[in-house]
Structure 1
Amino acid sequence: MKNSLPSSCLFLARLAGWLAAAFMLLAPMHSWALTEADEKGVRAVVEAQLAALARDDAATAFSFAAPNVRETVGTASRFMDMVRKSYPAIYRPASTAFLKPEDHHGQVIQRVQLTDESGSAWLALYSVQRQKDKSWRITGCQVIPNKGRMA
Protein backbone atom coordinates (compact mmCIF):
# COMPACT_ATOMS: atom_id res chain seq x y z
CA MET A 1 0.00 0.00 0.00
CA LYS A 2 1.34 3.43 -1.01
CA ASN A 3 1.75 6.15 1.66
CA SER A 4 -0.44 9.19 0.85
CA LEU A 5 1.29 11.49 3.34
CA PRO A 6 3.64 13.16 0.83
CA SER A 7 0.78 14.02 -1.55
CA SER A 8 -1.31 15.28 1.38
CA CYS A 9 1.54 17.49 2.55
CA LEU A 10 2.04 18.76 -0.99
CA PHE A 11 -1.67 19.55 -1.26
CA LEU A 12 -1.64 21.40 2.07
CA ALA A 13 1.49 23.35 1.09
CA ARG A 14 -0.11 24.37 -2.20
CA LEU A 15 -3.34 25.32 -0.45
CA ALA A 16 -1.44 27.42 2.10
CA GLY A 17 0.41 29.15 -0.75
CA TRP A 18 -2.82 29.94 -2.59
CA LEU A 19 -4.44 31.23 0.58
CA ALA A 20 -1.45 33.44 1.36
CA ALA A 21 -1.48 34.85 -2.19
CA ALA A 22 -5.23 35.48 -2.02
CA PHE A 23 -4.86 37.25 1.33
CA MET A 24 -2.11 39.50 -0.02
CA LEU A 25 -4.22 40.42 -3.05
CA LEU A 26 -7.42 41.03 -1.10
CA ALA A 27 -5.93 42.79 1.93
CA PRO A 28 -6.25 46.58 1.78
CA MET A 29 -3.14 48.40 0.68
CA HIS A 30 -1.42 50.23 3.49
CA SER A 31 -1.91 53.96 3.42
CA TRP A 32 0.53 56.31 5.04
CA ALA A 33 -0.79 59.12 7.17
CA LEU A 34 -0.35 62.56 5.67
CA THR A 35 0.82 65.37 7.88
CA GLU A 36 -1.47 68.33 8.39
CA ALA A 37 0.87 70.40 6.21
CA ASP A 38 0.66 67.77 3.45
CA GLU A 39 -3.13 67.76 3.62
CA LYS A 40 -3.21 71.55 3.37
CA GLY A 41 -0.76 71.53 0.45
CA VAL A 42 -2.76 68.93 -1.47
CA ARG A 43 -6.02 70.78 -0.93
CA ALA A 44 -4.41 74.12 -1.81
CA VAL A 45 -3.19 72.95 -5.22
CA VAL A 46 -6.63 71.55 -6.14
CA GLU A 47 -8.39 74.69 -4.87
CA ALA A 48 -5.99 76.91 -6.78
CA GLN A 49 -6.57 75.00 -10.01
CA LEU A 50 -10.36 75.15 -9.56
CA ALA A 51 -10.12 78.91 -8.94
CA ALA A 52 -7.97 79.40 -12.06
CA LEU A 53 -10.42 77.37 -14.15
CA ALA A 54 -13.33 79.47 -12.87
CA ARG A 55 -11.60 82.67 -14.05
CA ASP A 56 -10.58 81.12 -17.39
CA ASP A 57 -6.91 81.49 -16.45
CA ALA A 58 -5.58 78.63 -18.54
CA ALA A 59 -1.91 79.32 -17.84
CA THR A 60 -2.33 79.23 -14.07
CA ALA A 61 -4.64 76.19 -14.15
CA PHE A 62 -2.13 74.37 -16.35
CA SER A 63 0.73 75.28 -14.00
CA PHE A 64 -0.77 73.03 -11.29
CA ALA A 65 -0.65 69.99 -13.57
CA ALA A 66 2.19 67.54 -13.06
CA PRO A 67 4.86 67.17 -15.73
CA ASN A 68 3.24 63.99 -17.10
CA VAL A 69 -0.01 65.87 -17.75
CA ARG A 70 1.74 68.93 -19.17
CA GLU A 71 3.71 66.74 -21.57
CA THR A 72 0.62 64.81 -22.67
CA VAL A 73 -1.64 67.84 -23.15
CA GLY A 74 0.99 70.18 -24.54
CA THR A 75 -0.37 73.69 -24.00
CA ALA A 76 -2.45 75.65 -21.54
CA SER A 77 -5.13 76.37 -24.13
CA ARG A 78 -5.45 72.67 -24.98
CA PHE A 79 -5.68 71.94 -21.26
CA MET A 80 -8.51 74.46 -20.85
CA ASP A 81 -10.34 73.01 -23.88
CA MET A 82 -9.97 69.51 -22.45
CA VAL A 83 -11.39 70.58 -19.08
CA ARG A 84 -14.35 72.40 -20.66
CA LYS A 85 -15.24 69.43 -22.88
CA SER A 86 -14.36 66.44 -20.72
CA TYR A 87 -14.69 67.78 -17.16
CA PRO A 88 -17.53 70.32 -17.16
CA ALA A 89 -18.31 69.64 -13.47
CA ILE A 90 -14.90 71.00 -12.40
CA TYR A 91 -14.86 73.86 -14.88
CA ARG A 92 -17.25 76.01 -12.85
CA PRO A 93 -18.81 74.08 -9.97
CA ALA A 94 -21.66 75.70 -8.08
CA SER A 95 -20.31 74.23 -4.83
CA THR A 96 -17.39 72.16 -3.59
CA ALA A 97 -16.76 70.09 -0.46
CA PHE A 98 -13.28 68.72 0.14
CA LEU A 99 -12.89 65.36 1.84
CA LYS A 100 -9.75 64.29 3.68
CA PRO A 101 -6.96 63.37 1.25
CA GLU A 102 -5.48 59.87 1.48
CA ASP A 103 -1.95 58.77 0.63
CA HIS A 104 -1.55 55.50 -1.26
CA HIS A 105 2.20 54.85 -1.52
CA GLY A 106 3.16 58.37 -2.55
CA GLN A 107 0.13 58.99 -4.75
CA VAL A 108 -2.39 61.11 -2.88
CA ILE A 109 -6.09 60.97 -3.69
CA GLN A 110 -8.04 64.16 -2.98
CA ARG A 111 -11.78 63.62 -3.20
CA VAL A 112 -13.92 66.67 -3.91
CA GLN A 113 -17.70 66.59 -3.90
CA LEU A 114 -19.09 69.00 -6.48
CA THR A 115 -22.45 70.31 -7.50
CA ASP A 116 -22.77 71.68 -11.01
CA GLU A 117 -24.95 74.62 -12.09
CA SER A 118 -27.93 72.30 -12.77
CA GLY A 119 -27.75 70.83 -9.25
CA SER A 120 -26.25 67.45 -10.21
CA ALA A 121 -23.81 65.97 -7.70
CA TRP A 122 -20.35 64.78 -8.77
CA LEU A 123 -17.29 63.30 -7.13
CA ALA A 124 -13.92 64.42 -8.46
CA LEU A 125 -11.03 62.10 -7.64
CA TYR A 126 -7.80 64.05 -8.01
CA SER A 127 -4.50 62.20 -7.95
CA VAL A 128 -1.82 64.50 -6.58
CA GLN A 129 1.88 63.80 -6.24
CA ARG A 130 4.75 65.52 -4.46
CA GLN A 131 7.37 66.71 -6.91
CA LYS A 132 11.15 66.76 -6.45
CA ASP A 133 10.95 70.44 -5.48
CA LYS A 134 8.49 69.41 -2.68
CA SER A 135 5.52 71.11 -4.40
CA TRP A 136 2.27 69.23 -5.05
CA ARG A 137 1.03 68.77 -8.63
CA ILE A 138 -2.09 67.16 -10.05
CA THR A 139 -1.35 63.99 -12.01
CA GLY A 140 -4.93 63.22 -13.02
CA CYS A 141 -8.60 63.64 -12.30
CA GLN A 142 -11.61 61.41 -12.68
CA VAL A 143 -15.13 62.79 -12.31
CA ILE A 144 -18.01 60.43 -11.59
CA PRO A 145 -21.65 60.97 -10.66
CA ASN A 146 -22.00 61.18 -6.88
CA LYS A 147 -24.90 58.99 -5.88
CA GLY A 148 -23.92 59.25 -2.21
CA ARG A 149 -24.55 61.86 0.41
CA MET A 150 -22.91 65.26 0.07
CA ALA A 151 -20.65 66.39 2.92
Structure 2
Amino acid sequence: MRAILTAFSLVLVSPAAADEVAIQGTIDSQIEAFRADDFATAFTFAAPGIRSIFRTPGNFGTMVQQGYPMVWRPAEVEYLGARDIGAAWEQEVLITDGSGRLHKLLYRMIETPDGWRIAGVQLLESSAPAV
Protein backbone atom coordinates (compact mmCIF):
# COMPACT_ATOMS: atom_id res chain seq x y z
CA MET A 1 0.00 0.00 0.00
CA ARG A 2 1.11 3.54 -0.65
CA ALA A 3 0.88 6.21 1.99
CA ILE A 4 -0.47 9.65 1.21
CA LEU A 5 0.19 12.37 3.75
CA THR A 6 -2.65 14.83 4.13
CA ALA A 7 -2.69 18.01 6.17
CA PHE A 8 -4.45 16.16 8.99
CA SER A 9 -3.29 12.56 8.93
CA LEU A 10 -1.43 9.76 7.29
CA VAL A 11 -3.80 7.72 5.13
CA LEU A 12 -3.00 4.31 3.69
CA VAL A 13 -4.17 4.01 0.11
CA SER A 14 -4.31 0.84 -1.95
CA PRO A 15 -2.30 0.80 -5.19
CA ALA A 16 -5.56 0.84 -7.19
CA ALA A 17 -6.84 3.90 -5.33
CA ALA A 18 -3.47 5.62 -5.77
CA ASP A 19 -3.68 4.91 -9.52
CA GLU A 20 -7.17 6.45 -9.64
CA VAL A 21 -5.92 9.57 -7.87
CA ALA A 22 -2.98 9.86 -10.29
CA ILE A 23 -5.22 9.23 -13.33
CA GLN A 24 -7.69 11.89 -12.25
CA GLY A 25 -4.79 14.26 -11.60
CA THR A 26 -3.56 13.76 -15.17
CA ILE A 27 -7.01 14.45 -16.60
CA ASP A 28 -7.44 17.50 -14.35
CA SER A 29 -4.05 18.85 -15.41
CA GLN A 30 -4.86 18.48 -19.09
CA ILE A 31 -8.26 20.15 -18.68
CA GLU A 32 -6.66 23.05 -16.80
CA ALA A 33 -4.17 23.46 -19.65
CA PHE A 34 -7.05 23.48 -22.16
CA ARG A 35 -8.88 26.13 -20.11
CA ALA A 36 -5.77 28.31 -20.39
CA ASP A 37 -5.41 27.57 -24.14
CA ASP A 38 -2.01 26.09 -23.27
CA PHE A 39 -2.03 23.37 -25.91
CA ALA A 40 1.68 22.68 -25.49
CA THR A 41 1.13 21.63 -21.86
CA ALA A 42 -2.12 19.79 -22.68
CA PHE A 43 -0.21 17.84 -25.35
CA THR A 44 2.25 16.55 -22.72
CA PHE A 45 -0.58 14.61 -21.05
CA ALA A 46 -1.37 12.72 -24.27
CA ALA A 47 0.04 9.21 -24.67
CA PRO A 48 2.87 8.71 -27.16
CA GLY A 49 0.51 7.17 -29.72
CA ILE A 50 -1.75 10.24 -29.65
CA ARG A 51 1.25 12.57 -29.89
CA SER A 52 2.52 10.69 -32.94
CA ILE A 53 -0.88 11.02 -34.67
CA PHE A 54 -1.24 14.78 -34.13
CA ARG A 55 2.50 15.62 -34.12
CA THR A 56 2.14 19.18 -32.82
CA PRO A 57 0.33 20.85 -29.92
CA GLY A 58 -1.45 23.09 -32.44
CA ASN A 59 -2.89 20.15 -34.38
CA PHE A 60 -3.91 18.51 -31.12
CA GLY A 61 -5.54 21.69 -29.82
CA THR A 62 -7.52 22.15 -33.03
CA MET A 63 -8.82 18.58 -32.81
CA VAL A 64 -9.94 19.07 -29.20
CA GLN A 65 -11.58 22.44 -29.89
CA GLN A 66 -13.52 21.02 -32.83
CA GLY A 67 -14.20 17.47 -31.67
CA TYR A 68 -14.36 17.78 -27.88
CA PRO A 69 -15.42 21.35 -27.04
CA MET A 70 -16.82 20.17 -23.70
CA VAL A 71 -13.30 19.07 -22.71
CA TRP A 72 -11.76 22.31 -23.97
CA ARG A 73 -14.21 24.48 -22.02
CA PRO A 74 -15.94 22.46 -19.28
CA ALA A 75 -18.09 24.13 -16.67
CA GLU A 76 -17.88 21.13 -14.32
CA VAL A 77 -16.00 17.83 -14.25
CA GLU A 78 -17.11 14.84 -12.18
CA TYR A 79 -15.27 11.54 -11.96
CA LEU A 80 -17.36 8.39 -12.11
CA GLY A 81 -16.09 4.81 -12.06
CA ALA A 82 -12.59 3.70 -13.00
CA ARG A 83 -11.42 0.22 -13.79
CA ASP A 84 -8.17 -1.58 -14.47
CA ILE A 85 -8.44 -3.38 -17.81
CA GLY A 86 -5.00 -4.95 -17.81
CA ALA A 87 -2.55 -2.89 -19.84
CA ALA A 88 -4.64 0.25 -19.36
CA TRP A 89 -7.26 1.87 -17.17
CA GLU A 90 -10.60 3.33 -18.12
CA GLN A 91 -11.97 6.36 -16.30
CA GLU A 92 -15.54 7.57 -16.84
CA VAL A 93 -15.96 11.32 -16.61
CA LEU A 94 -19.14 13.39 -16.57
CA ILE A 95 -18.59 16.86 -18.00
CA THR A 96 -21.08 19.70 -17.92
CA ASP A 97 -20.39 22.17 -20.71
CA GLY A 98 -20.96 25.91 -20.64
CA SER A 99 -24.54 25.47 -21.88
CA GLY A 100 -25.38 23.06 -19.07
CA ARG A 101 -25.38 19.95 -21.28
CA LEU A 102 -24.05 16.75 -19.74
CA HIS A 103 -21.47 14.64 -21.58
CA LYS A 104 -20.29 11.24 -20.40
CA LEU A 105 -16.83 10.37 -21.65
CA LEU A 106 -14.55 7.38 -21.30
CA TYR A 107 -10.85 8.17 -20.92
CA ARG A 108 -8.41 5.38 -21.80
CA MET A 109 -5.27 5.79 -19.69
CA ILE A 110 -1.86 4.15 -19.93
CA GLU A 111 1.03 4.30 -17.51
CA THR A 112 4.31 5.50 -19.01
CA PRO A 113 7.73 6.24 -17.49
CA ASP A 114 6.51 9.87 -17.26
CA GLY A 115 3.32 8.91 -15.40
CA TRP A 116 -0.27 8.33 -16.51
CA ARG A 117 -1.11 9.57 -20.01
CA ILE A 118 -4.35 9.85 -21.96
CA ALA A 119 -4.45 7.32 -24.80
CA GLY A 120 -7.94 8.17 -26.04
CA VAL A 121 -11.26 9.74 -25.18
CA GLN A 122 -14.62 8.37 -26.31
CA LEU A 123 -17.91 10.25 -26.02
CA LEU A 124 -20.38 7.80 -24.49
CA GLU A 125 -23.46 10.00 -24.18
CA SER A 126 -24.60 13.56 -24.52
CA SER A 127 -27.84 14.69 -22.95
CA ALA A 128 -30.17 17.61 -22.55
CA PRO A 129 -29.12 20.47 -20.30
CA ALA A 130 -28.90 19.64 -16.61
CA VAL A 131 -31.79 20.95 -14.54
Q: Quick check: TM above 0.5?
A: yes
Q: Which residue of 2 aligns with 1:101?
A: 82
- Show structure 2 runs of 5+ residues with no match: 1-13
User: C-alpha displacement at 1:101, in angstroms?
Assistant: 1.5
Question: Which AA in structure 2 matches 1:48?
Answer: S
Pairwise CA RMSD: 1.9
Q: Which residue of 2 aligns with 1:136?
A: 116
Q: Which residue of 1 aligns with 2:66?
A: 85
Q: Which residue of 1 aligns with 2:36?
A: 55
- Show structure 1 runs of 5+ residues with no match: 1-32
User: C-alpha displacement at 1:144, in angstroms?
Assistant: 3.3
Q: 1:109 to 1:58 in 2, by over 3 A?
A: same
SS of the residue corresponding to residue 118 of structure 1 reads coil
Aligned residues, how many?
116
The answer to whether the 8 Å contact 1:113/1:146 transfers is no
Instruction: Please say if 1:69 is aligned against 2:50.
Output: yes
Would you identify which runs of 4 or more consecutive aligned residues in structure 1 move more than 3 Å? Answer: none
Q: Which residue of 2 aligns with 1:22?
A: none
Q: 1:34 to 1:146 in 2, by over 3 A?
A: farther
Larger % of strand: which?
A: 2
User: TM-score with structure 1 length normalisation?
Assistant: 0.71
